Structure 1
């Protein structure tokens, strides 16, 4: 009798185990390069995770690994998510030069406009023209940053002549080309490497948006900050939030829908918008510190625009069907601009 009871209990336990396992949340490993105090972490990544957790009734959960705590270097984030080291990542395509030749059209000089509209445009453009660049991953959001600003250690730069020969951190392949066209010496590096390079004088300035300033303490390492106020942004970086395709495919249909409902054109615009208040706050913090914040004069800016057109011309020649892709992306930016 005892043997029979034991067998029945064991069988019942075996039947219960799949149900118990099924009720356990699916934990998504989410990796990025910036510290937990960054705008990316606090304003976009954590809120997005909270959205999918709530929508899935806690069946999906994020385990966030900031500041490269899963290992590797920032430039490896995209490969890590493709390989399944992480399940989701936020990264910059510009850190992996040559891997996103089509979608980088949005990083051309004086190309993007308002951040939310240009982010919607980027999503549409990628979906139609650049999905081959995202093989192995599912795009959740693709967006453009706010305008990049020049941050200089010891020199107030207002003209091309002032900029000539200066070593300046660039954000991407096209950022390198932009700086070179303006007469600077571009030094490519991911953001996490920038503070030490500024502190040691390896670079004399850096090109980053305002929101990056507080977590990297750029306002403490520089004194002069040159803004480029124009109808079109002098340069902006594209950013991507992507999920390992196999991990997505492994989800049940209702949880796939949760991810889908928090992906796409509107999500891309929402993510971009989350950085805007941080841009304002960072600028105010820099001014309050007593640093000099100024705008490049409009008459001088026309010279910068003209000097950088060679970057666009070269991109059109380098990329297959470049003119059509350029014109289509520009039309989308115009369509979605306010």
Structure 2
């Protein structure tokens, strides 16, 4: 009898332990672009497929593109912090001034290579951005490819061509730089760009080529003006791929390991590399339109304005009690280090 009771007790204990060991988790993944966007097809969906495979399908994604969980793009960070979503992809710059440290990478003429710069951004964030992102579990920080002028009525060849035009820009610093170049900046998230162009609310938008299919820019913009590819990009934006902290901490150790193996500096670089591929595919869609390159000789004057904006930003950060000079120096040196490490 005692043996039978002992065996029964062991069976009960084993059964009780089974659900924890075989815990299944569904992650609600929320972002602002459509499912056909390059961000969705080249980065978010593949990430979800990897964590499902590496967890033996015990951890899966339920993906909500196009803000299907409600709210607006600037609210995505708060949604993952508060548990409305488990994972989000968003731009810190959508909430101007809230994530001041990230702005160092959004200054003009900082980025040459999205992969190297994304790796640098992850490293930089470990030193300068911990306080800003302490309420979430960052999975990656990255940037996109070079910004491009997508214009409805005329191309951009010189600074003078921008005077009097209304241009969409994504971040606080890009808005400032657009104004310094002579245009009127109009801040709006990417999903609003197509409607604004179609209605003539804006004359053009500065976005990378990867955005083209998401808002049908190949149909709405007749001209695409790039800056000389031998120069650093005139702008880029920073992004965060983040997880709800409580959701992560509640995972069993083996599922945490799956998340950890699919986050961090290497993953950030992989996203940057995916955006290079996305730019190439997005540019193909604009082949029927007119494309021009703004030459390096023209960009000399632009760079002087960019240097002034950078100096003003350092003063602004110092006034907030941050070390603006150190932040900018670290951003530049980390980008250079990662660029030099590329094969």
Q: With the length of structure 1 as denominator, give the TM-score of the two structures.
A: 0.93
Contact 1:170 / 1:207 at 8 angstroms: preserved in 2?
Answer: yes
Question: Deviations along 1:78-111, whole A, 9 cap, x unmatched?
Answer: 0000000000000011101111101210000001
Give me the whole-angstrom Cα distance separating, in 1, the residues matched to 2:256 and 2:13.
28
Structure 2 equivalent of residue 236 of structure 1? 236
Report the CA distance between 1:23 and its aligned residue. Answer: 3.0
Give me the whole-angstrom Cα distance separating, in 2, the residues matched to 1:156 and 1:232.
20
Contact 1:181 / 1:310 at 8 angstroms: preserved in 2?
Answer: no
Structure 1 regions of 5+ residues with no counterpart? 1-8
Describe the SS at the equivalent of 2:207: strand
Moved segments of 4+, more than 6 Å:
12-15
Give me the whole-angstrom Cα distance separating, in 1, the residues matched to 2:255 and 2:304.
49
Corresponding position: 1:140 with 2:136: no
Contact 2:212 / 2:285 at 8 angstroms: preserved in 1?
Answer: no
Structure 2 regions of 5+ residues with no counterpart? 1-7
1:46–1:205 Cα change, 3 Å: same
Structure 2 equivalent of residue 336 of structure 1? 338
Give me the whole-angstrom Cα distance separating, in 2, the residues matched to 1:328 and 1:16.
53
1:17–1:69 Cα change, 3 Å: farther
* Paired residues for 1:49-88 under 5 Å: 49-88=48-87
Describe the SS at the equivalent of 2:47: helix
Describe the SS at the equivalent of 1:293: strand
Q: With the length of structure 2 as denominator, give the TM-score of the two structures.
A: 0.92
Contact 2:114 / 2:275 at 8 angstroms: preserved in 1?
Answer: no
RMSD: 1.6
Structure 2 equivalent of residue 294 of structure 1? 292
Contact 1:169 / 1:203 at 8 angstroms: preserved in 2?
Answer: yes
Corresponding position: 1:274 with 2:274: yes
1:321–1:58 Cα change, 3 Å: same
Structure 1 equivalent of residue 3 of structure 2? none
Structure 2 equivalent of residue 307 of structure 1? 305
Structure 1 equivalent of residue 200 of structure 2? 201
Describe the SS at the equivalent of 2:132: helix
Question: Deviations along 1:97-147, whole A, 9 cap, x unmatched?
Answer: 111101210000001221111111000000111111102101101011100
Structure 2 equivalent of residue 321 of structure 1? 323
